[in-house]
Amino acid sequence: MKAVAVFPACREVQLVDHPEPDIQSPTQLKARILDVGVCGTDREITSFQYGTPPEGSDYLIIGHESLAQVTDVGDRVTKAKPGDLVVLTVRRPCPHASCIACRSGRQDFCYTGDYTERGIKQRHGFMTEFVVEEDGYANVVPSELRDIAVLVEPLTIAEKSMEQLRFVQERLPWDGEEHRQALVLGAGPVGLLGAMALRIAGYQVTVYSRSPKHEEQNDIVSAIGARYIAAETQSVDEMSRAVGTIDIVYEAIGASGVAFDVIKHLGPNGVFIFTGVPGRKGPIEVDTDDIMRDVVLNNQVILGSVNAPPHSFQAAIRDLGTFVHKWPDAVRALITGRFPIDQATTTLSQGAAGIKNVIAVSA
């Protein structure tokens, strides 16, 4: 079958012929891949800065944002049946008995770092025609979401973050109705989906972004009742004056410079959530005394969040349904390009044109 693979040793990205997998145990299912989303992580992997092939393989099949249709199920599969649409989780547990996180099914909090990730770390991904997986890693999606369900995985980043945020803010012994001013950094898919999640959670939202696509993104941001501020024309100081007290920052740019500029503007009892994995671009100057002083005197929390457990996939499936009901055009506008698998290598090398580009592996 066809698959898109990265060969780190010889620095190549190729369409390869890979053996089609078969069900090996009664708890596995086989699925035909429909859509695979391309994100910044994939671009890092295909520019050889990130990503590791499985042991013994020269290449890694990329792709971790999936939508697939179940074709066969083992006898003990309970979560899905043939014909169902599914989105697969990304991370698989480490092998160590001592890792309480992985042993509890919470490999998103793995202690050892020896977890694997499909399409990213030591496990083949989804940019191929068929996959076989344990049914516990499959999440069934209603068929009405067929055209947009590839957005579920990037939305899980916001879902896990929102859950962490709720846990953290339980420290405040009142319901935070008044303090719901959120700032989203970045207007890519993670940022815009995060803005939608914050909106339905009752936050006022401002999206601050540097981007060549202001108009499209501005339309989406206005449609969801949020405000867009362009970083090219307004400095961080100006933006912060316009927003007022910032209770929450949801970082989705993966660039540390802007993020650390914005930390200084976080309000009292505020939470700054990092989701981006920046490439290494060299040191920058940051006034650490200022930041440390504010973090202490204002009870602030700086929180990192990565990967997502199955219940965040369930939340993403439910919320994507809510989003598309409330804002049908804005949600569909997030997907700006669909390309066949034969064009995947060119799509990947062209960089981040559009918002979310999707490889439509089959119809």
Beta-carbon contacts of 344 under 8 Å, excluding residues fewer than 6 positions away, are 4, 15, 127, 359
- Contacting residue, 116, 218, 305, 307, with ligand BGC by CB under 6 A: 307
CA distance 70 to 60: 23
Residues 39-98 that bind ligand BGC (CB under 6 A): 39, 41, 64, 90-91
Please state the closest distance from residue 289 (CB atom) to ligand BGC, in A.
Answer: 32
Q: Are 163 and 170 in contact (CB under 8 A)?
A: no
CA distance 71 to 57: 27
CB nearer to ligand BGC: give 19 or 113.
113
30 binds, among Zn ion, ligand BGC, none (CB under 5 to 8 A by kind): none
Adjacent-strand bridge partners of 31: 70, 131
Sheet of strand 301-304: strand arrangement: 227-230, 204-209, 181-185, 246-251, 266-274, 301-304
Please state the closest distance from residue 201 (CB atom) to Zn ion, in A.
Answer: 22
Taking every pair of Cα atoms in the chain, the longest distance, rounded to a whole number of angstroms, is: 60
By beta-carbon distance, which residue lies closest to Zn ion?
39
29 binds, among ligand BGC, Zn ion, none (CB under 5 to 8 A by kind): none
133 binds, among Zn ion, ligand BGC, none (CB under 5 to 8 A by kind): none
CB nearer to ligand BGC: give 119 or 267.
119
Cβ-based neighbour number of residue 352 at 10 Å: 14
Q: Is 39 in the site for Zn ion (CB under 5 A)?
A: yes
Q: Is 286 in the site for ligand BGC (CB under 6 A)?
A: no
DSSP per-residue letters across 141-159: E-GGGTTTGGGHHHHHHHH
Q: Is 157 in the site for Zn ion (CB under 5 A)?
A: no
Q: Is 162 in the site for ligand BGC (CB under 6 A)?
A: no
Using CA atoms, how far residue 359 sits from 21, 37, 38, 84, 213, in Å, is 20, 6, 7, 20, 21
CB nearer to Zn ion: give 295 or 306.
306
Reduce the DSSP state of residue 347 to 3 states and report it.
helix
CA distance 147 to 13: 27
Phi and psi torsions of 131, nearest 5°: -135, 155
Please state the closest distance from residue 358 (CB atom) to Zn ion, in A.
Answer: 12
In 28-99, alpha helices (H):
40-46
Distance from the Cα of residue 6 to its chain's centroid: 21
Residue with tokens 């697939």: 68
Please state the closest distance from residue 120 (CB atom) to Zn ion, in A.
Answer: 8
359 binds, among Zn ion, ligand BGC, none (CB under 5 to 8 A by kind): none
CA distance 124 to 128: 9
94 binds, among Zn ion, ligand BGC, none (CB under 5 to 8 A by kind): none
CB nearer to ligand BGC: give 141 or 157.
157
Please state the closest distance from residue 28 (CB atom) to Zn ion, in A.
Answer: 24
Q: Is 265 in the site for ligand BGC (CB under 6 A)?
A: no
Q: Is 120 in the site for ligand BGC (CB under 6 A)?
A: yes
Q: Is 41 in the site for Zn ion (CB under 5 A)?
A: yes
Torsion angle in degrees (nearest 10) through CA of 298, 235, 40, 356: 110
306 binds, among ligand BGC, Zn ion, none (CB under 5 to 8 A by kind): ligand BGC
Please state the closest distance from residue 340 (CB atom) to ligand BGC, in A.
Answer: 23
Q: Is 124 in the site for ligand BGC (CB under 6 A)?
A: no
Q: Is 315 in the site for Zn ion (CB under 5 A)?
A: no
Q: Are 214 and 193 in contact (CB under 8 A)?
A: no
117 binds, among Zn ion, ligand BGC, none (CB under 5 to 8 A by kind): ligand BGC
Interface residues with ligand BGC (CB under 6 A) are 39, 41, 64, 90-91, 117, 120, 153, 157, 306-307
